[in-house]
Amino acid sequence: HRRFDYRPKTDPYCQARYTFCPTGSAIPVMKGEDVIEVYRLQAPVWEFKYGDLLGHLKIMHDAVGFKSSLTGKNYTMEWYELFQLGNCTFPHLRPGMDAPFWCNQGAACFYEGIDDAHWKANGTLVLVTTISGTMFNEMAQWVKYDNETGIYYETWTVQESPDKKSTVWFDSYECSKFILRTYQKLADLGAVFKKIQTNYTSIILFSGEPIYLGNETSIFGPQGNKTLAAAIRDFYSPFKPHQSVREFFVDLFKIIDRVILNHQFYLFYNLEYWFLPMKSPYLKIIYEEVPLPVGNKASFGV
C-alpha cells in the first residue's frame, strides 16, 4: 500500500453520516516508568444474513485498548473511515463530472475510556501484552507518521485463488490492518505478546492478473478513453455511497451479481484504476487467524 506525503484536504461535498471520531483527543505522553496494559478489542460491525448464499458473516471491527497503571485511565485507539464504509468502497457519479468522485479517507481515532460493555457483550476484550510508558510514547510517534502517510481506506483484498499460498494482487487497508501494524510496532519496540488466537475479517475478491487501466486524467481527461470511461461509470452506477451499513451490504450483493454475470470488476487503488478478470468463487468474506507478532528486541514485562 503506497505511502503519501501528506493528507489532502477533504472536499466539502463529502459529508459523513456520523461524525468521525467525535470524542477524539490527542494521545497523551506517558511517564517512562508507567506500566501499560494493552487490550485486543473486537466486536461485530453488523449481524447480517443473506439467504443461504453466504450464511452468517463475521464482519468484525477491531480496536486496541490501553490502561495506565500510574493513572488508572483507560484509552481506546481505532482506525476507520472518515465518511463511512460505502464512501470508501463506491464513488459518487456526479452530474457534470466525467470521473467518478471518491470520498475516501481512513484515519486513526484515539479517545479516553474503553466501552467495556460494547466489546465484552458482543465480542472480545482481552489483555494481549504489557508495555512501558516509553514504548507507548514511541508508538504514539509512529501512529502520527502512519496516519499522515497512509490515508486511503481500501475495502478489498484481491488474490488469485482461495489457496493459502495464492498470489495477493492487492491488499486491503482497513481497521484490522491498522491494529496489526500497531501490534507489530509494539513487538518491534520489545513488547512480548501472549499466545492467544486472534482472528480477523477479510473481504476477498478472486481475480486473474489485474490489468492496469490508468489514472483519473488518462481515462477521464480530455485525451481520455471514452469507451473505458463509460464502462467504469456503468460498473459503479448501481451503488450508493451515502448509505447505512445495511444498504452497503445490499449494494455489495449487487456487485456480486454483476461480477459473477460479467466476470469483471473495476478497482480503484492508490488513485489508479485496474481491471480485474474475475474468477470463481468471485468473492468471499473470511474470518481467519492472524497470529500476534513475535518481537525482535529484549523483552519487557511478561
Question: What cell numbers appear for 167 in the block?
Answer: 498470489
Q: Beta strands 124-132 and 199-207: pairing type?
A: unpaired
Q: pLDDT, tens digit, for every residue of 111-132?
A: 999 998 888 877 889 999 999 9
Q: Of 110, 142, 119, whose CA–CA distance to 40 is shortest?
A: 119
Q: Within this chain, do residues 171 and 150 fall inside the same structural domain, yes or no?
A: yes
**Among 171, 201, 231, where does a domain finish?**
201
Q: Are 287 and 197 in contact (CB under 8 A)?
A: no
Q: Within this chain, do residues 268 and 174 fall inside the same structural domain, yes or no?
A: no
Asked if the structure places residue 301 within a domain, the reply is: no
Q: Within this chain, do residues 62 and 175 fall inside the same structural domain, yes or no?
A: yes
Cell numbers 444474513 correspond to what residue?
A: 49
Q: pLDDT, tens digit, for every residue of 24-38?
A: 999 999 999 999 999
Average of pLDDT values for 253-274? 86
The CA-CA-CA angle for residues 65, 109, 41, to 5°, reads 30
Instruction: Assess whether 21 carries a catalytic annotation.
Output: no
Q: pLDDT, tens digit, for every residue of 48-77?
A: 444 333 335 667 889 999 999 999 999 999
Q: Going by C-beta distance under 8 Å and a sequence separation of 6 or more, which residues neighbour residue 42?
A: 60, 61, 62, 63, 119, 123, 124
Residue 61, CA distances (Å) to 40, 103, 175, 176, 221 in order? 11, 21, 7, 7, 38
Helix (H) or strand (E) holding 120: helix 116-122
Q: Are 173 and 1 in contact (CB under 8 A)?
A: yes
Q: Within this chain, do residues 194 and 91 fall inside the same structural domain, yes or no?
A: yes
> Residue 187 — very low, low, confident or very high, per pLDDT cuts 50/70/90?
very high
Average of pLDDT values for 291-299? 70
Catalytic residue among 92, 175, 242, 263: 175
Residue 76, CA distances (Å) to 25, 38, 73, 148, 163 in order? 10, 10, 10, 19, 35
Cα–Cα distance measured from residue 267 to residue 59, given in angstroms and rounded to the nearest whole number: 21
Task: Look at residue 242 in the predicted model and tell me its pLDDT.
Answer: 65
Instruction: Assess whether 61 carries a catalytic annotation.
Output: yes
Q: Are 38 and 24 in contact (CB under 8 A)?
A: no
What is the number of structural domains in the chain?
2
Asked if the structure places residue 13 within a domain, the reply is: no
Residue 170 above 80 pLDDT? yes
Which domain range does residue 41 map to?
A: 35-201
CA quadruple 230, 246, 50, 46: dihedral sign: positive
Q: Within this chain, do residues 156 and 52 fall inside the same structural domain, yes or no?
A: yes
Asked if the structure places residue 268 within a domain, the reply is: yes
Q: Within this chain, do residues 150 and 231 fall inside the same structural domain, yes or no?
A: no
Number of H-type helices and E-type strands within the chain? 7, 11
pTM for this structure?
Answer: 0.87
Longest CA pairwise span in the chain (Å): 63
Q: Within this chain, do residues 71 and 100 fall inside the same structural domain, yes or no?
A: yes
How far is CA 172 from its chain centroid? 6
Catalytic residue among 56, 61, 88, 242: 61
Average of pLDDT values for 135-154? 95
Q: pLDDT, tens digit, for every residue of 104-113?
A: 999 999 999 9
**Among 201, 233, 260, where does a domain finish?**
201
Q: Within this chain, do residues 148 and 236 fall inside the same structural domain, yes or no?
A: no
